[in-house]
Structure 1
């Protein structure tokens, strides 16, 4: 590698590489192995290399099971549901991982059965002689996956992890890669494939990150904020300045953004850095994809549209992005608050009393003894009291309607009340602006203007 970067060699050395299918399936009976290897070689023409590699791993488990349970079986054409398929499905319940000896997850069971089902379906549709004459694996045989929500990081954990990556990195370049992944919602392999010219500036539209072809073979553009641009600038400053390296997808020479010690940064390197930062932050185990989930969850909380979320995450179907919408469904929240408000309105006014035995209004019970102006509700000061409403109800068109009526008149004795009402309206306007209730803030400002006019007219009348 050193000789390559010095210009002595024209090509970098090839290290590792995929293990031949014949070698990976060496434990399978020779005749069955030939059929499985032939299928995998055929899939290489239409599927990504990593996809075919995953198929090989899962089909290997099926082939080894058939070899152990029925050594005389010479072709998948002779598969019998009762003697082969059903025992294989039952064996997955107690199957253990080759890596750590722990029981495999429901997701791994699902993937193994899907791989076998896809294999049998494909060779049947292709008309191969090895295809079973009748169907032996059905849709209901595939283990059902639990519909779990995306595992995002809570706000506090997200901040602690970011602080650990920023202030206590073990490998600064890997830590910057993790921060870039979190800031742009990237999959684990996408930062590693970024090239030096990945940042694009558009007049009037700021800076954007061009994410290269990834899992779904699509490119996308992600907007960048100044903090993320600073991360990329730091990467370009500390990265290894090397000769262009062969691109893993196109094999053309490319200048990658994340290069370390003359090579591209590896997934193992960024995983180790995430484990180190998780330990420093005092968190439990955090996976790479949780950073992407956290990015998407923050966007959903901010009210981003489904179309924008799909574009930012690189999803091809709305169903993929809707998983995040189920976390915080605005419609469900609105209906909940509407029903809760109706329930409060139907509460008897004598249901609660203060220490002096005086009856409190139903909505004032939820203030917990605090000043009504500090509650997280829409608020209005009336001449004889106040009004509290759930945020889902929006600005009330009836609030302070008398003050705005042309027939409304005031008198000198009411000036202190109008002045106090104006002070409250000003405070409520600032409160609404801080909470993002623009319509409510505008309503308060209109009331302030009307109160100013009423006070001025009353003072003029009294000289």
Structure 2
């Protein structure tokens, strides 16, 4: 357990000075008499604060109420570091004693916690715990440093857990401490708070490095060295995933193959056993079996681990990589799921009626910008930028290590302005989305979307579906793939082309427009031998554009992104070649090509065809 360095016990003179003030603070003569008796009883039983603080806890708890009250008041007023076990187990009202000693600090804390959105009942519990932490540290709440707060809080938490037999009382302890961490961070007296209560428990399948080092020190050393190197070039979130996989694999080896004490001892048998064990673990929300993406991720992490330690010439490395590429399951690649127009309209109508302003902001930003969930969580308070007369939203560096500007819908701009207007200006974090002073987790975004979908009468809707919906709506209404790629932050058009496959409205409209004309021809009475010829306008302008794009812009191994109005020096590359040969029989075709180039203003292309025509005139054979 953590310990707190004990300060010097207050002297007799300091205690005597406090006694006079303590007795005079009684509201009535009866109260002052009771306090005087408490002082007398305290001196008779303990002598001074040093004797009281070092007396057995049972002896301190058995004294009369007025004696215990004086001792607690004196400890708070003199800044005495009280034994953590006594602070946790005693019935002293530490929150009341600290409030009476520091009324201004209490008022400021109440005001700041309320600014962050906590209710009065929650703030009262947080103040009680903060008072106990301050008493353990031997100082006032306002004088706590981040180091003192962390040490005293850990000590208080551990003693409380021990008092309850190792079980954490969630409602009375974890919830107030969870909120207190956020308030103290913004006050500059605590480190940045975690998004979740990770200090409450550890998953049984993920043992810590302390146990791994005790059982397999060589393997632990190799894995930790590998993770340290990964931390220099990868994101913390990626390193955290690698860390989980390696701890999980090491825990499996400790349990099922205790003889494997180094990475060099791992062979194919151990990988196959781990893969089978992993596949049998419960999956998402208790479903039987892990999903293919999760299983593939774990095996991919292990393959990277063994490949790299071999390439990096680690002493503790196997002769060959025991994890094969085929160990990763082949994943399905279904089309992105999106909301059709009717569903999207119902969803957005439900979003406008959400009672929680944070839910409204989350859903509207996702739906109207097509941002990824991680990008939304990383938005800062200065993300809105005015360029010219319009407003743009600057996304943080996200999944593809790039940032971008997104045109901001006026309604979303109003929501962000309103959110910032109600934000406490003294907070230390510059993140836009904070819930009671704490960065919101990804699950908070999921819940907002699920809540909106339920209100709209839809089924399960994931935040990323809103991104797919925006892209599908855009391509169905004529937005170019280049513009969609810029909006979504894609590296290349290959990522955006998937939305061309699901842009079904444009295809369907053109299909039914053409099939109506075709059906009318089928209905006409004609001899079976007579060929059916459709007029040129039957294709429609959109389908003619598709045909032109497919025939001119589609290459053998990709696509040409050149705008149609621009010339291309390679368009007549064959005709410009010295090995090119033509005869008079091709003159009509060359003449038509020359006329087409002239009509389009492609002078370079026209000159090539002019030269070919002149060559035919000079040498018709």
Q: What is the match of residue 128 of structure 2? A: none
Structure number with larger C-alpha Rg:
2
Contact 2:306 2:317 in 1 (8 A): yes
Q: Which has the higher helix share?
A: 2
Q: What is the match of residue 160 of structure 1? A: 346
Q: 1:201 aligns with which of 386, 403, 408?
A: 386
Q: 2:494 aligns with which of 315, 319, 325?
A: 319
Q: CA deviation at 1:338?
A: 10
Secondary structure, counterpart of 1:222 in structure 2: strand
- 1:76 paired with 2:251, answer no
Q: What is the match of residue 116 of structure 1? A: 302
Q: CA deviation at 1:105?
A: 1.0
Q: CA deviation at 1:337?
A: 7.5
Report Cα offsets for 1:361-413 as digits up to 9, x if no partner: x99xxxxxxxxxxxxxx999xxxxxx965564559xxxxxxxxxxxxxxxxxx
Contact 1:175 1:274 in 2 (8 A): no
Matched pairs, number: 353
Secondary structure, counterpart of 1:71 in structure 2: coil
Distance in 1 separating the partners of 2:434 and 2:505: 43
Q: What is the match of residue 234 of structure 2? A: 47
Q: CA deviation at 1:303?
A: 3.0
Q: Root-mean-square deviation (CA), in Å?
A: 3.9
TM-score scaled to structure 2, two decimals?
0.50
Q: What is the match of residue 409 of structure 2? A: 225
Q: What is the match of residue 300 of structure 1? A: 475
Q: How does 1:7-406 map to 2 (within 5 A)?
A: 9-16=187-194, 23=208, 26=211, 29-31=215-217, 32-81=219-268, 83-97=269-283, 100=286, 102-169=288-355, 171-203=356-388, 206-238=390-422, 240-246=423-429, 255-328=430-503, 344=519, 347=522, 349-350=524-525, 390=540, 392-393=542-543
Report Cα offsets for 1:12-59 as digits up to 9, x if no partner: 544348789972684684333332232222211111111111122223
Q: Which has the higher strand share?
A: 1
TM-score scaled to structure 1, two decimals?
0.65
Relative to structure 1, the CA distance from residue 341 to residue 47 in structure 2 (aligned partners, 3 Å threshold; closer, same or farther) is: same
Report Cα offsets for 1:127-185 as digits up to 9, x if no partner: 1122211232222222111011112122222222222221133x212321221121111
Relative to structure 1, the CA distance from residue 84 to residue 335 in structure 2 (aligned partners, 3 Å threshold; closer, same or farther) is: farther
Query: Which protein, 1 or 2, shows the higher relative CO under an 8 Å CA cutoff with sep ≥ 6?
Result: 1
Distance in 2 separating the partners of 1:37 and 1:261: 36
Contact 1:182 1:295 in 2 (8 A): yes
Report Cα offsets for 1:61-98 as digits up to 9, x if no partner: 332333333110011212221x2123333444433238
Contact 1:79 1:136 in 2 (8 A): yes
Secondary structure, counterpart of 2:373 in structure 1: coil
Distance in 2 separating the partners of 1:270 and 1:331: 32
Q: CA deviation at 1:200?
A: 1.6
Contact 1:12 1:245 in 2 (8 A): no
Q: How does 1:406-421 map to 2 (within 5 A)?
A: none
Contact 1:165 1:277 in 2 (8 A): yes
Greater mean alpha carbon deviation, residues 20-29 or residues 298-307: 20-29
Contact 1:164 1:280 in 2 (8 A): yes
Distance in 2 separating the partners of 1:326 and 1:25: 51
